[in-house]
Amino acid sequence: MAKKKKDIRREFIIEEAAKLFKEKGFGGTSMRDLAEQVGMDAATMYHYISSKDEILKTICFDIAHTYITQLTEIEQAPQPITQKLKALIGLHIRLMTTKGPAVSVANNDWKFLSPEPLQEFKNLRSRYEKKLASFIEQGVQAGELQEVNASVALFTLLSAVRWVELWWKPNRGVSPEELENTILTILFKGLEKEKP
């Protein structure tokens, strides 16, 4: 079914807001800035969006739900734990190359959510991190992964892909596929070549 014009306009406003929030920060971006960015006067824009808080909530929860949905699908897939972890890390990388500004906002500006959505967002993050940590623990028990501290491994993996949102651009000479393959190789095999 085709999207309504109002929905398309709203999505456009949210995408442009993500770019501005990434560039100036949530606190440093005004609704006037956003209206200028999207080429509308404030009154027209309020027809599509009620507040800056609503925009932030939409961005943060869209990204969070993408992660949770993918996590559920990957968890149910009949494949080894290592493959599941690689799929999840691959998802992080692909989201950063396709929705970089929104991922950046969800990673950095979530703390500006109002109290109720803030708590819900924290719960989603915690649930996701616990499930990822349990994948690592299962991988260790199954003999697929090195015997490591699951929390340290978890935050090393997540931190190891965070820089992508800051560094990667299409003109860097690194395709999204090469980026993903290189990061996964380093994270799961290391830099050092095994000697024959």
Smallest Cα–Cα separation from 158: which of 111, 97, 91, 109?
Answer: 91
Asked if pLDDT for residue 109 goes beyond 90, the answer is: yes
d(CA 78, CA 104): 32
pLDDT digits (tens, 9 = 90+) for 128-172: 999 999 999 999 999 999 999 999 999 999 999 988 988 888 888
Per-residue confidence (pLDDT) for residue 126, from 0 to 100: 94
The alpha-helical segments, DSSP class H, found in 109-190 are: 115-141, 150-162, 164-167, 176-189
Closest Cα partner for 161 from 103, 75, 76, 80? 103
* pLDDT given for residue 111 in this prediction: 95
Question: CA-CA distance, 67 to 65, in Å (whole number)?
Answer: 5
Check whether 2 has a pLDDT greater than 70: no
Count CB neighbours of 20 within 10 A: 21
5 vs 13, higher pLDDT? 13
The 3-state secondary structure of 75-117 reads HHCCCCHHHHHHHHHHHHHHHHHHCHHHHHHHHHCHHHCCHHH
Q: Alpha-carbon distance 181 to 111, whole Å? A: 32
pLDDT in tens, 82-92: 999 999 999 99
State the Cα–Cα distance between residues 79 and 183, nearest whole angstrom.
Answer: 21
